[in-house]
């Protein structure tokens, strides 16, 4: 009887390894996407918190909120205006004799969140 000495992998062994890698990828990719979406959403909310701090400083110094969000840059409260990373546009509005404001970004920030905003004296929110 002849014994075969082989150092190669069999087809079954290779198929098992490919299946295990496929299963691990199927588990890891959705988790990675969710973590990425959460980190991006945190960036959006932190940007709005920076806006909120600048708006509060502006209102404290001037007695009212700015008519135009660009006033925060021109008067030195922000170095620059932040762009929405997903391409949404920020909309600025003031109401109640310039005592209340609303800064909102309508962009598809995650598959379930397409609206992030701030209001006076409230933390940034995502809906």
Query: Domain with 45 in it: what CATH number?
Result: 3.30.700
Q: Give every CB contact of residue 126 below 8 A, 6+ residues apart in sequence.
A: 41, 44, 45, 109, 113, 115, 116
Q: Hey, what are 21's tokens?
A: 């890698």
The answer to whether residue 6 is domain-embedded is no
- Percent of the chain at pLDDT > 90 equals 21
Radius of gyration of the chain (CA): 26
- Whether the predicted pLDDT of 6 surpasses 70: no
Mean pLDDT of the chain: 84
- Note the pLDDT of residue 123: 77
Any alpha helices (H) in 63-105, and if so which ranges? 71-74
- Percent of the chain at pLDDT > 70 equals 95
The answer to whether residue 77 is domain-embedded is yes
Q: The tokens 């021109």 sit on which residue? A: 74
- Note the pLDDT of residue 42: 84
Give the chain's domain count. Answer: 1
Residue 24 pLDDT level (bands cut at 50, 70, 90)? very high
Q: How far is CA 81 from CA 54, 73, 77, 127, in A?
A: 11, 7, 10, 22
Rounded Cα gap, residues 54 and 86, in angstroms: 23
The answer to whether residue 4 is domain-embedded is no
For the entire predicted model, the pTM comes to: 0.70
**In whole angstroms, what separates CA 111 from the centre of its chain?**
12
Top-confidence range, 37-51, 55-69, 105-119: 55-69
Per the structure, the complete domain to which residue 74 belongs is given by: 11-126
The answer to whether residue 1 is domain-embedded is no
The answer to whether residue 76 is domain-embedded is yes
Maximum CA extent, the chain? 99
């Amino acid at each position: 009887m002849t014994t075969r000495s082989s150092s190669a992998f069999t087809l079954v062994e290779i198929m098992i390894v490919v299946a295990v890698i496929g299963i691990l990828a199927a588990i890891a990719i959705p988790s990675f996407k969710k973590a990425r979406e959460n980190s991006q959403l945190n960036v959006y909310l932190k940007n709005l918190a920076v806006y909120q701090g600048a708006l509060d400083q502006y209102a404290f110094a001037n007695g009212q909120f700015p008519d135009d969000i660009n006033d925060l840059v021109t008067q030195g409260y922000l170095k620059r205006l932040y762009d929405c990373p997903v391409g949404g546009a920020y909309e600025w509005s003031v109401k109640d004799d310039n005592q209340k404001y609303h800064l909102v970004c309508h962009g598809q920030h995650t598959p379930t969140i397409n609206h992030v905003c701030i209001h006076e004296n409230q933390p940034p929110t995502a809906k």
